A and B are shown apart, each in its own frame.
Chain A
Amino acid sequence: MPGKLKVKIVAGRHLPVMDRASDLTDAFVEVKFGNTTFKTDVYLKSLNPQWNSEWFKFEVDDEDLQDEPLQITVLDHDTYSANDAIGKVYIDIDPLLYSEAATVISGWFPIYDTIHGIRGEINVVVKVDLFNDLNRFRQSSCGVKFFCTTSIPKCYRAVIIHGFVEELVVNEDPEYQWIDRIRTPRASNEARQRLISLMSGELQRKIGLKVLEMRGNAVVGYLQCFDLEGESGLVVRAIGTACTLDKLSSPAAFLPACNSPSKEMKEIPFNEDPNPNTHSSGPSTPLKNQTYSFSPSKSYSRQSSSSDTDLSLTPKTGMGSGSAGKEGGPFKALLRQQTQSALEQRGGSPHRFCRRREFPFFTLTAFPPGFLVHVGGVVSARSVKLLDRIHNPAFVGIMGNTRSYKLLDWNSFNSDEPETRDAWWAEIRQEIKSHAKALGCHAVVGYSESTSICEEVCILSASGTAAVLNPRFLQDGTVEGCLEQRLEENLPVGCGFCHIPYDELNMPFPAHLTYCCNCRKQKVPDVLFTTIDLPTDAAVIGKGCLIQARLCRLKKKAQAEANATAISNLLPFMEYEVHTQLMNKLKLKGMNALFGLRIQITVGENMLMGLASATGVYLAALPTPGGIQIAGKTPNDGSYEQHISHMQKKINDTIAKNKELYEINPPEVSEEIIGSPIPEPRQRSRLLRSQSESSDEVTELDLSHGKKDAFVLEIDDTDAMEDVHSLLTDVPPPSGFYSCNTEIMPGINNWTSEIQMFTSVRVIRLSSLNLTNQALNKNFNDLCENLLKSLYFKLRSMIPCCLCHVNFTVSLPEDELIQVTVTAVAITFDKNQALQTTKTHVEKSLQRASTDNEELLQFPLELCSDSLPSHPFPPAKATSVDYSSFADRCSSWIELIKLKAQTIRRGSIKTTVTVEKASPMGEGNFRNRSAPPCASSTVGVVKMTPLSFIPGAKITKYLGIINMFFIRETTSLREEGGVSGFLHAFIAEVFAMVRAHVAALGGNAVVSYIMKQCVFMENPNKNQAQCLINVSGDAVVFVRESELEVVSTQQPTANCQPSCPGGEVTT
């Protein structure tokens, strides 16, 4: 019996009126965990019941603690008929299972009903006593920490980064069970919510087990997704990066956002003439390795069509992984070998999980300094699968886990074997791995997986960035790593990652290489695409910007296999065009690299949508991009010529304007410095738009953009004209606004503390049935552009500000509907301070450059001792003013209320406000002193952000992962304000529930917040709508930098909590 779960129901408030006669409610609460249920007394005739229950105690194994959510149901007692449910609260008690996260969950939770939404709040206290059982880690994986953050969490240090972990579980979707026909929508929704909660608990536990087997203690970059496959079931899958983390003992006072790219080049005068012919460039990006394969699921293998539809574009370069490039330097080969052996070593152990470890993938997008050695480019793979359950007669227990009965207690058949899905993903991962290898890389970073499902067709996608990593973090032997590190340090900082990892003479694709503009020693490609964040030490010129490629393709409606074939045939064209668009737009911005690239292909009934988002930057190490040239096809026509030249002028103007806007003024590089690395004579190759419909051409095109000096757009038909127009119609954000889809905006480093996270959803209905591709593209383009314009307008009061981590998701819920969901955070910054810091930064970097090797030698040592840049913590001042007296004031809630009452009596709202403002700061104190949970009568502010940091603040504690799934349904759509009113309210409620859970854990922010799913379905004729939302993030405690001094004096008290033993990581 390794754990005791204790729950106390304190009170409720704002309950709905359940008895129309008395306008009151007779409420009581059922507390359920596993199969045990407790009930409180009925609190008669009140909308604000005070149950103040005893401690309900559940004695359970820690396995259950990990899998099961605590389920609290609030009901209205009815003497004559059945008790009416008011709503439920699901509490994930996982955060209580780590030794250093939260120790108690206590606070007001919104009572949620899937039909009515939030109906009042309930105050609950939850505690867990874990007994020290030696066998504890056998079945469960208590103690493994999970982080959504895709970098090493701020108050930890990575000792070892073990690598990829993944798992998936499959179950039948309750919505599609026969019983769903007879039960109420509420019961069905609740069954679904509960099932998903159980499944994600189980998934997390299983992943935890894998991590423990790898001897890790944490999962970073944990991404869990649901595939609602409809009839064929429900898949919950997760990927992450196993790590061994060490808690940093002394909190380092550094601002994460300040690690901004240096701007050494800023002082050098800008040359107006970009001279496009000097530096040739083409779309020779490493976004090469896509695979489109349609392989029917196993049941279909009898079909001979599989070979027809299997379309592989993988370049067979035949590059051996061991072949060291001549230019690569002696250590590079050594490095690669070592890392590979390091990776293989672990993978080699004959173990039942060994199959999974063969993938050297990392879900991280930002890395400790020195971890990332070289970046090859984006690798991606897609595969079209048919979901089919008839041929999968699977039975209970197939999940290979004795505990699966829990998930199956009400359904006797399992829809599909997880093995099938596993095999699908394994296939794709294998592709990715081989692509990376072809790029001379042994690892993939910034790795992610996604699906798009329409009816029975499913597109599985995976993408990442091929990279060469420093083995130091992958191995236990740190001594060797240090040696390696020192070698590596000879490389100039800020450009090393741009240097090509592959062999110049044996390139995986024709690329145009030049000597690095920064160090002039190594070769770099002309353009770099990656899925990761901009490395903090990267040398960047100017600011970055959000670049999007948007594309629609009509597709005939078809069934099953024909449909899948049609889709796989379309995919390469989609990818190709998305890529061309990205390249064009990048050039139009005068930039040469993309970070955070995310290409989403969505499948619908009659169309395919492609949306690629990335942040464009100008990397100082890479050559200046060439311009875009337009070529006409009918040269005889004079007016046409004129038109072409007019267009050309417009494009050139736009490029010049963008360069000014994003402050891209690279130093003029003369021909001699660059040398002539191009042996081939320059030749113009054309981008043949009209012919791109034949499939052989695509293979050709994708690989042959290389050797040419300027990007030529040939306008030979209206289609291409359309494209050029769309290039030019992308409006830059209004002045004072910047946007990017990465964590930090390149070129901005002085964030102020104001942040606003938001979600915006738009659905448009396409008007006509006979749509053309052009019209569709225009509609989609307008949709996205208008959405961005709306965001800029709404957030205008925050100027100057930057939209960070802009995340677009496209879905096609119905035939003529396109849904776009955007989540991002707007962060304000100080315009004036920017200049100052840049200056000091430049000075600093100049200083650093001028100092001799001594410093360089010290650097690796520093790195070994501490991977994060830590500055000495400023000594806490004894003059902590009256913070303690404030704490005293608030230690008793009665006093607080008195205080409030007084202020009210005095009659000024302002004084009340000051009490409230102070409360978030004092909140930690309420809890630490175990004051009654009703202590804070005001609602503390909980910040939410998709970023891993909070500007101007320091994260002091990670409290655990937040992973929530909600369903909301209505049968009175019109009464709730139509679809917009319905979804608006629901999203607001989701935010509220996330905030409430974080606050109950004692946190004041959610970082790395992501809305993974927002599935919206409507049936206006029936006045019905349903929406499913899945969100996740990391609950944290942060302290404002300005308050750090004060809190440091408080910290001893916080650590002295009886239930928080030390705060050490148990490995």
Chain B
Amino acid sequence: MTSELDIFVGNTTLIDEDVYRLWLDGYSVSDAVSLRVRSGILEQTGATAAVLQSDTMDHYRTFHMLERLLHAPPKLLHQLIFQIPPSRQALLIERYYAFDEAFVREVLGKKLSKGTKKDLDDISTKTGITLKSCRRQFDNFKRVFKVVEEMRGSLVDNIQQHFLLSDRLARDYAAIVFFASNRFETGKKKLQYLSFGDFAFCAELMIQNWTLGAVDSQVDDMDVDLDKEFLQDLKELKMLVADKDLLDLHKSLVCTALRGKLGVFSEMEANFKNLSRGLVNVAAKLTHNKDVRDLFVDLVEKFVEPCRSDHWPLNDVRLFLNQYSASVHSLDGFRHQALWDRYMGTLRGCLLRLYHD
């Protein structure tokens, strides 16, 4: 006796969250069944392995049919074939677009192209995430990227509207799209200590302040592309380190203000010029695409690592950066106050986030 056909169709589509998770994680039906058996479900329900197999198959089939709709979530809302309560629809979408931290760290900032797709095998081996799941996550990134890439309006809003994601997840995707489009390098060894959350935080600040959308909300691509004009202008900041007088003045202003307040005052005093040079040079280099990509590498190399080697406490870093940015306003010879604020405001936030072990 072999089962030729075995199906269950409910008027309301049954969604088993646990099986959905297993499916999303890319397990085959037989793997999923053995994982479910291990979870002790048979003992809880008194079911047999055959029942579990049939149930798992059914759910997998349903998910397979739903997958097409999940590629365009608004379709899931309007389609008539599966009657799914709105809360469940939201859950399906949210979970489908959720991604693994380990995976996203591998892909973040890389070009979402076929070439990368071939690397998925390696990522799968490296992270222990099934290839199937890697594919889904990669395809999700790519799909979202393709849809919102050349769209007008806020990146987060666009993602939310077209993929019906939660606010948090939409923000994460905005970061992924932003990183993919600007190809920021995140894979270097010295960047390994950074989490996706760190990068997403920076991305959000940069989107808010450094993109076209920060000045004009009516341009295509406004949140994806960095404001080229702004990047060009950043060259002007170079005088802060090139002009020796200005640099000395800046240093003395900061040192006066922070004397007695910093635990690492002497280290700061000794390193001030190096640090300032580093931060300003990063700004000046941003005109070149290649240097834009290395932004995070540079920040870590030029600022985070020197501070860390001197064991600056985070609070000292905060005090220093605040004072460092604010003191520029007192430099009479420096005319680019607004530009400085736009640059340093964001950078300060980023650096504070990046500064940890």
Contact = CB atoms under 8 A, between A and B. Distances in A.
Contact of B80 (A793, A796, A905, A996): A996
29 contacts: A14-B75, A760-B7, A760-B8, A762-B3, A786-B48, A786-B50, A790-B51, A793-B45, A793-B47, A794-B8, A794-B14, A794-B58, A817-B4, A907-B167, A907-B170, A913-B87, A913-B90, A939-B80, A980-B7, A980-B57, A981-B65, A984-B58, A984-B61, A988-B9, A988-B65, A988-B82, A991-B9, A991-B81, A1016-B5
A657 B175 CA distance: 62
B78 interface: yes
A237 interface: no
Range of interface residues on chain A? 35 or more
B304 interface: no
A942 interface: yes
B10 A790 contact: no
Nearest to A760: B8
Interface stretch (B155-163, B179-187, B258-266): B155-163
B1 A779 contact: yes
Contact of A756 (B12, B47, B61, B94): B12
Closest 4 CB pairs of A and B: A763-B5, A907-B167, A913-B86, A758-B10
Contacts of B80: 108, 110, 118, 121, 939, 992, 995-996
A763 B4 contact: yes
Nearest to A758: B10
Contacts of A789: 47-48, 51
B161 A904 contact: yes
A944 interface: yes
Given A789-B51, A938-B78, A989-B81, 10 more contacts: A13-B78, A758-B10, A759-B8, A763-B3, A786-B50, A794-B58, A907-B167, A937-B78, A980-B5, A988-B81
B124 to A, nearest CB: 25
A761 B5 contact: yes
Contact of B90 (A766, A909, A980): A909
A985 B86 contact: no
A765 interface: yes
Nearest to B93: A909
A942 B5 contact: no
Interface string A909-941: 110110011000000000000000000011101
Contact of A941 (B3, B51, B57, B83): B83
Contact of A758 (B6, B8, B170): B8
Nearest to B78: A939
Interface of B: 1-14, 45-48, 50-52, 54-55, 57-58, 61-62, 64-65, 75, 77-83, 85-87, 90, 93-94, 156-157, 160-161, 164-167, 170
Contacts of B57: 980
A116 to B, nearest CB: 13
Contact of B1 (A734, A765, A980, A1016): A765
Contact of B45 (A118, A734, A939, A979): A734
A14 B11 contact: no
A765 B4 contact: yes
A764 B54 CA distance: 13
B3 A764 contact: yes
A1051 interface: no
Interface in A975-1021: 977, 979-981, 983-985, 987-989, 991-992, 995-996, 1016
A333 interface: no
B81 A786 contact: no
Contacts of A981: 61, 64-65
A697 interface: no
A275 B256 CA distance: 103
Given A14-B78, A907-B170, A912-B86, A985 B65 contact: yes
Most buried by B among A765, A909, A939, A942: A909
B1 A767 contact: yes
A938 B62 CA distance: 21
Contacts of A904: 157, 160-161, 164
Contacts of A938: 77-78, 86
A782 interface: yes
B167 A908 contact: yes
A228 interface: no
Contacts of A765: 1-4
Given A764-B1, A764-B3, A905-B157, A790 B81 contact: no
B4 A907 contact: no
A734 B45 CA distance: 8
Interface string A741-762: 0000000000000001111111
Contacts of B13: 988
Nearest to A814: B4
Contacts of A913: 86-87, 90
A943 interface: yes
B80 to A, nearest CB: 4
Nearest to A779: B1
A118 B12 contact: no
B5 A979 contact: yes
B39 to A, nearest CB: 14
Contacts of B161: 904-905
Nearest to B73: A909
Given A734-B45, A794-B55, A991-B83, A943 B1 contact: no
Contacts of A992: 80-83
A983 B87 CA distance: 27
Contacts of A118: 80-81
Interface in A695-711: none
A753 to B, nearest CB: 13
A637 B156 CA distance: 84
Interface string A360-389: 000000000000000000000000000000
Contacts of B86: 912-913, 916-917, 938
A984 B65 contact: yes
Contacts of A983: 5, 7
A793 B7 contact: no
B281 to A, nearest CB: 38
A981 B29 CA distance: 15
A941 B157 CA distance: 28
Contacts of B9: 758-760, 984, 987-988, 991
Contacts of B46: 734
A110 B80 CA distance: 7
A938 to B, nearest CB: 6
Most buried by B among A765, A766, A779, A793: A793
A909 B164 contact: yes
Contacts of B50: 786
B55 A977 contact: no
Contacts of A916: 86
A141 to B, nearest CB: 32
A799 to B, nearest CB: 10
Contacts of B10: 756-758
A767 B14 contact: no
